[in-house]
Amino acid sequence: MERRAQYDDALATALATTGPSPSAPSYALSVDLGLFTPQALPGSDEDDDPDFYSYECRCSGQYVVIREQLEKGVEVVETQQKRQAKQALFDAAKPLRRAREKAQKKEKIAEKRKLIELGVLERPVSKRQNGNRPRRPYGARIVVDMGFDEKMTDKEIKSMGSQLGFCYAANRSSPTPVPFLVTSLNGRLKHRMDTVTHKAHESWREVEWWEEGYEELWADEVAGGEGEGTMVEGGEEKEVALVDLGTLKGKPRARSRREDVVYLTGDSPNVLTSLEEGKTYILGGIVDRNRYKLLCYDKANSSGIQHAQLPISEFLPEMTTRKILTVNQVFEIMLQWVEKRDWKEALQTVMPTRKYRHFNVYTDLVSWV
């Protein structure tokens, strides 16, 4: 109490000479803590320290200071009635806030509609219209290589799962979908997809899932899942491995010649000019915040397959920084090229001008570059 009295005296002297600070909290009444009445909660031991202190206000309310507030050095408190009045005022203003928010939303919708009529914005395609569009599947396969599980943190594993979902959604809504294969799904990401998301990926349509690596694409004997089937090729029956997971379960696994496989990596000196039907393009499925260098480039060389990078520098010279994209961004760029056959338009569709003119490194990075 003595220290409190000394503080009150010093504060009063300071206010008398300099006046209150503009940034200091305002208060209507200054009361010494010694005038507060110690109070105990029901059931408390009489020998214990008071649980709180109270002081009767002239408005018939009570100023209440709890022990934790004293320990934190809280100096300004309100009466219970004042807090209740503030809450009541806030609740009473809720309909007005909601009305204002609705009015602002209507203004934005009207502004967007006007821009569409002026031709500044494209008219959005409804989900029904999008679903009724004719789909023309394209024969260039895209593979996401998940063989980097041990190089990612749990948070990055979660992000990678989300990116796979974005890839699937983009392919499903595209008028020119491509065969989609996910390989090396055998680590923490598979465990997360089996448990946290309750195997929702197994219902993804037209997606092929492998626990094995992409090298099985050109292997003489593909390691089968639940078993092998037979197919007739050149008048001869051959044993083939079958897909053992997802909506394609029981169908023959994808195959490709080694010379028709291309690993996409920004470290490659080769520049991709087009996506050819009959070829397979691999994306490195890793979120690593740019920790690992030449990861996909070295993996492509060790596998003895071709490698290339997207023609970003050629068609978006404004991007002067290192071109680091997420897996789903690369996937969507490739889908856009298949649909429009124009790299510049495809790149600009996925990466708007406001992003690539002042390009910032994304929080989640993928080592395909």
Residues taking part in catalysis: 288
Q: Which residues of 198-209 are buried (b: 16+ CB within 10 A; e: fewer)?
A: eeebeebeebbb
Which residue do the tokens 């309100």 mark?
A: 78
Dist. CA 331–CA 163, nearest whole Å: 10
Tokens of 52: 């709180």
Structure-derived torsion over alpha carbons of residues 216, 221, 227, 229, reported in degrees to the nearest 10: 110
Classify 321 as helix, strand or coil: coil
For the chain, the maximum distance between any two Cα atoms, rounded to a whole number of angstroms, is 106
Q: Which residues contact 63 (CB under 8 A, 6 or more apart)?
A: 31, 36, 54, 55, 56, 57, 77, 78, 79
What is the residue-wise DSSP string for 256-288? Answer: --GGGEEEE-TT-S-B-----TT-EEEEE--B-
**Signed CA dihedral, 240, 241, 244, 247: sign only:** negative
Dist. CA 235–CA 255, nearest whole Å: 19
**Cα–Cα nearest to 174, from 122, 125, 246, 210:** 125
Dist. CA 160–CA 274, nearest whole Å: 26
Asked whether 367 and 284 are in contact (CB, 8 A), the reply is yes
Strands 236-241 and 62-66: unpaired
Report, in angstroms and rounded to the nearest whole number, the Rg of the chain calculated over CA atoms: 33
